[in-house]
Structure 1
Amino acid sequence: MTGDLYSIGKVEEICKITKKALRYYDRMNILSPDKVCNENGYRYYSKKNLLSVPVIRYYKQSGFKLEEMKAFLEGTTYDFVDKSFRKKIDELEELDREINLKIRSVKDWRDLIVEAQMVLENNVCDVAIKYIDNRRLIFLNQDFQYDYMDSIINIEFNNYIDNINNAITGPVIINFPSYKDKMNGKCNKMKIMQQTVLKCKEEETIEYGGWMAASCYHIGAHDSVDKTYKKIEDWTRQHGYICSEECYERYVTDYWTTKNTDRFVTEVMIKIKR
């Protein structure tokens, strides 16, 4: 310290800010030293200048770039600050929406992986009766040609979601009009469904759930899923249930997650009643 001036090393110590950052702030005309010695280039800062460091730190915490905070530090009108702050709030809220979308997408995908791991570890392949919660899913009617990879990853469906400015999460669910046709290789129509992240128009969605189903996990490649349908059909007949025509395949893990078809987990569901 020289008089009431502080060396750059002392500023680093007092303000917990690196010399590199201080030099950068100087180049950006954000925080310049009060004095620079001609002989050795040493930089010295006044106490008043030091008090700018917490202000800069707070602006950075609030998401402002150095270029944006320059006018604030130099002194400007409240009106300019208000407009700048409102603009920053809009930017941060949009960023928050994007981050929350990413967090939800990753969490939902991880939940499916955990579910699949538990099914595989415990070899869960028994038929069970379960209630399917009611909700609305976005959908698209399509032709079906038993090309599971094309149907599940589904470029046309993903383009449709982009066109309506939405995003999808959770498992792909495909509805087939007849489980018997599906089981016997005669199905040619399908309805792909998935949960949206953002709100969409009611006409873009379809009601899913609100009914009882005979459910069974199918482990392995999709081309042998007919065996699981037969298992469900036999089990429901033995237990006095009547299967409706409609059926659903909920892809817990598939081509999105692994290339090993032996590790695919698909939940097959057929609506039932007594």
Structure 2
Amino acid sequence: MGEELYSIGKVEEICKITKKALRYYDKMGILSPDKVADESGYRYYSKKNLLSVPVIKYYKQSGFKLEEMRAFLQGTTYDFFDKSFRTKIDELRELEKEINLKIRSVRDWHALIVEAQMVIENNVCDVSIKYIDERNLIFLNQNFNYDYMECIINIEFNNYIDSINNAITGPVIICFPSFEDKINGKCSKMKIMQETILKCKDEESIEFGGWLAASCYHIGTHETINETYKKIKEWAKEHDYICSEESYERYVTDYWTTKNTDKFVTEILIKIRRKR
């Protein structure tokens, strides 16, 4: 009595794998039927052949392509297995880095959207004192011409990041050497800064934070941002604080996220200290 054979439909039922996949495996030389009926073309598989399906699924789960599985399934040496698996581990580690970078980028951007949404919904426009955590940011000194869109979606800065093989995340922050010059239309220099995902060299980064700041959100177009600067100046005078000369604009949501300038959220940060 011959070995029992299973139709392709039965294999689909037993192994939870589609007929389409089984036909493709046959085409690729991964799992071929033991018998093909001459007249009908029906495929039949032995129980021994069915046992290849869990192995194939595990290889697939492990990230191997069908072409890579073929040698394993046909029988090969442990040395070949060793080299193939080491190569796959290295490949998956690189993929892991890429996926983690994408997750970080999306997560950080999402956090900014949530922050902006809460600021707008609660109309958070009061000045407050805020401690800015110390960290290192990548930076680039540039000219400033009051074209906010060009400054924030900054081609030169992005090209610079690409040239040093890094990746940026989080809000764009621009430092102005004198906020008085900025609000009076006399500012011509700026420093664009952003957090990097990969570690950068010391000479490519600058320390940011580690100090108290007067913080105030500005909701709406950047063309009216001077109103918020004046609000901070008045608050500092009223509460006996001295503002430092430079200021920082942290773009929570901007042209990167929306074309509706009424929904822009910018946080202005100015270092402060008590009058003595």
Does 2:226 align with 1:226? Answer: yes
Aligned to 2:148: 148
Please state whether the residue corresponding to 1:175 is helix, strand or coil.
Answer: strand
Aligned-pair CA distance for 1:3: 4.2
Amino acid at match of 1:25: Y
TM-score, normalised relative to structure 2: 0.97
Aligned to 2:263: 263
Aligned-pair CA distance for 1:13: 1.3
Please state whether the residue corresponding to 1:140 is helix, strand or coil.
Answer: strand
- Counterpart CA distance in 1 for 2:69 and 2:221 is 57
Q: Does the 8 Å contact 2:173/2:192 carry over to 1?
A: yes
Amino acid at match of 1:218: H
Please give the residue correspondences for 1:214-253 in structure 2 after superposition, counting only pairs within 5 Å.
214-253=214-253
- Counterpart CA distance in 1 for 2:171 and 2:238 is 30
Aligned to 1:187: 187
- Counterpart CA distance in 2 for 1:240 and 1:3 is 94
Which consecutive segments of 4 or more residues in structure 1 shift more than 2 A? none
- Counterpart CA distance in 1 for 2:206 and 2:244 is 19
Does 2:26 align with 1:12? Answer: no
Query: How many residues align structurally?
Result: 273
Aligned to 2:81: 81
Amino acid at match of 2:15: C
Amino acid at match of 1:7: S
Q: How large is the RMSD of aligned CA atoms in angstroms?
A: 1.0
Aligned to 2:109: 109
Amino acid at match of 1:103: I
Aligned-pair CA distance for 1:40: 2.0
Aligned to 2:43: 43
Q: Does the 8 Å contact 2:12/2:18 carry over to 1?
A: yes
- Counterpart CA distance in 2 for 1:211 and 1:19 is 65
Residue by residue over 1:17-69, the C-alpha shift from the partner in whole angstroms, topping out at 9 and shown as x without a partner, is 11111111111111111111213222211111111000000000001110110
Same amino acid, percent of matched pairs: 79
Structure 2: segments with no counterpart, 5+ residues: none
Aligned to 1:59: 59
Structure 1: segments with no counterpart, 5+ residues: none
- Counterpart CA distance in 1 for 2:141 and 2:153 is 15
